[in-house]
Structure 1
Amino acid sequence: MTYLLLALFGGLSGVTTVLFGFGGGFVVVPVLFGVLNSEAVGGLSAPVAMHVAVATSTCVMIVNASLSTRRSARSGTLLKDWLWPLAGFIGIGSLIGAVAAGFVNGSVLRLAFMAYLAITIADCLLRRGFVSHAAESEPRPLSAMTRGPGGILIGAIATFLGVGGSVMTVPLLRRCGLSMTQATAMANPLSLPVALVGTATYMVTGALDNTRLGAGYIGYVNLIAFALLTLGAWFGMRLAARWVGRIPDRLHAWAYVGLLGVVLVSMGWA
């Protein structure tokens, strides 16, 4: 039953990757934390379960974000001027965030994850330019401060929490004048530096940790969970591909905020 649950939520992560730019973290982290923290499955302590959930999430994101980026590149929805050099600075910040997370208690990491979601939801609802977006003929370019220090901050926070960064890049790009379809498509390649750097770092720090997780792990990454979540995600992405560009922009924005709310509540109950 647990395997089926992981595959189903993997499918949901595939859908959210394609339609909302969520590389898997917002779906995978709460579910995997609950599964690993359950005595019926493994009974990992809450701090360790959270580290494993975040590490496995970043690993799933590599596959999800790569496949979605490939599809977006083929369809022509990627805008190179908004990808580089922002992606490079996000990669630098990712290394900082992944190393910092290795020194933080898992319970603190969980609270930080929840606080991050709450602030993002409030920002999307209270500040103009996200839900009440007005289409512009020419999107505004990113400033040097946003690309440089802003990109480093995005990478650090995203990797620290294992969420891919889409919750920051989508609102950012939308306020630059991009549609939800464009902004969510761009979120996936911008999440790749987070996923790659985060996964490598969690594998190393997990291997050096005194916690003995046993077979089926590379560092903090749970290989069985990774395989099940990735398999489900592949089916979910194929299912969601037919809806790309067909959802009204305002409804797309409301659905994005609503999903963040659902994840926040589920994490609070975990």
Structure 2
Amino acid sequence: MLESMLIYLPLGVIAGVMAGLLGLGGGLVIVPILTITLKMAGVHEEDIMKIAVGTSFATICFTSLSSVYAHNKKQSVMWDVLIRFLPGVLIGVFALGYFVNYLSNTLLSYLFSAFVLFSIYNLVKKKPPVVEDKAPNTHFLTLSGFGFGIGGISALVGVGGGAMTVPLLSHLGHEMKKAIGTSSAAGFPIALAGAVNAVWHGFDAPNLPEYSFGFIYLPALIGIAITSMLFAPIGAKLAHKLPQVALKRVFAIYLSIIFVQMIVSAH
């Protein structure tokens, strides 16, 4: 188990930095690489995406806690917005997370690929920067409604929802730093609900690899969690210092490579 765990330490570094830097939970980094390593480890084909998604959620629980702590110190978490956003998120995660166990590995791969395309679009599209937070007090039902959609999609593709939450909050008029900080905070309950779903639905599943806890692969969870928690605060500091446009373009290039890899692996 120790040897397997060490393989995932570098992955946690990337996931942690991305979590703090762009408000992403790290799932866009973790899921694609897990599909490769799990396949190389001989995991049953139909379980690969389910385990990748479940393990991604479990690691995001740790990454997001570290990230939100760093962002909260800089007062960039909008807790009032988060409270109105979370009820819909949690309902969405549990409602659509129920169906993950019944979807094929190929379909889940295509869903993830579609989400990657959406994320690339949000990263490269031009939008006017919000320098000062002047967002209206968005109604509870409106935010919860958006939260339901984000939570449901997150449950299907194993992400913390940052690629959707950050653009949404920015569109509503919140400045980017606060959108990223609040997205990091929202990632924890999304990931926790997704991880519970993964354990619940995968607990008695046949053909799981050794050291699995439901659809969570423990060597990957431990290895990624250790380094992602250490590096998420570094990403959060960079988010307040580096130009976001250049960073988003670099990440968009990475996602483009991931998109091709996911499409190829689905066949």
Runs of 4+ in 1 over 6 A off after TM superposition: none
Secondary structure of 1:208's counterpart equals coil
- Identify the residue that residue 81 of structure 1 maps to in structure 2: 80
Residue 107 (structure 1) aligns with: 106
Partner of 1:233: 228
Q: 1:23, 1:191 within 8 Å by CA — same for their partners in 2?
A: yes
Q: Equivalent residue for 1:21?
A: 23
Structure 1 vs Structure 2 CA RMSD: 2.2
Contact 2:7-2:223 within 8 A present in 1 as well: no
2:60 equivalent to 1:65: no
Partner of residue 92, structure 2: 93
Q: 1:255 to 1:84 in 2, by over 3 A?
A: farther
1:163 to 149, 154, 159: 159
Q: In 1, are the aligned partners of 2:123 and 2:249 still within 8 Å (CA)? A: no
Q: How many residues align?
A: 263
Give the 3 Å change call, closer, same or farther, for CA 137–86 of structure 1 in structure 2.
closer
Q: 1:146 to 1:97 in 2, by over 3 A?
A: same
The residue number in structure 2 matching 1:30 is 32
Alignment of 1:1-270 (within 5 A): 3-38=5-40, 42-123=41-122, 125-126=124-125, 129=127, 132-136=128-132, 138-144=134-140, 146-209=142-205, 211-255=206-250, 257-270=252-265
Identity %: 24
Q: CA deviation digits over 1:238-270, x for unaligned, max 9?
A: 443442300124334444544443432343354
Residues 238/269 of structure 1: CA separation in 2 closer, same or farther (3 Å cut): farther
Deviation at 1:226, TM superposition (A): 0.6
- The answer as to whether partners of 1:94 and 1:193 remain within 8 angstroms in 2 is no
Q: Residues 137 and 95 of structure 1: is their aligned pair in 2 closer, same or farther, counting only changes over 3 Å? A: closer
When structure 1 is superposed on structure 2, of 111-120 and 252-261 the one drifting more is 252-261
Q: CA deviation at 1:74?
A: 2.1
1:121 to partner: Cα distance: 2.6
Query: Which deviates the most, 107-116 or 132-141?
Result: 132-141
Assess if the C-alpha contact under 8 Å between 1:165 and 1:187 holds in 2.
yes
Say if 1:138 and 1:155 are closer, same or farther in 2 by CA, change over 3 A: same
Q: What is the TM-score of this pair, normalised by structure 1?
A: 0.88
Is the Cα contact below 8 Å between 1:180 and 1:253 reproduced in 2?
no
Aligned-residue offset at 1:137: 5.1
CA contact 1:179–1:249 (8 Å) conserved in 2: no
| C-alpha separation in 1, matches of 2:9 and 2:227 | 5
* Offset from partner CA, 1:138-157 (integer Å, 9 cap, x none): 12443455312221111111
Per-residue CA distance 1:97-145 (angstroms, 9 max, x = gap)? 211111111211011100122134335545x53xx43534512443455
Give the direction of change, closer, same or farther, for the CA distance of 1:123–1:223 in structure 2 (3 Å limit).
Answer: closer
For structure 1, which runs of at least 5 residues remain unmatched after alignment?
A: none
CA contact (8 A) 1:117 1:260 kept: yes
Note if contact 1:55-1:221 (Cα within 8 Å) is conserved in structure 2: yes
- The residue identity in structure 2 corresponding to 1:196 is L
Does structure 1 conserve the Cα–Cα contact (< 8 Å) formed by 2:124 and 2:249? no
What stretches of structure 2 of length at least 5 have no aligned partner?
A: none
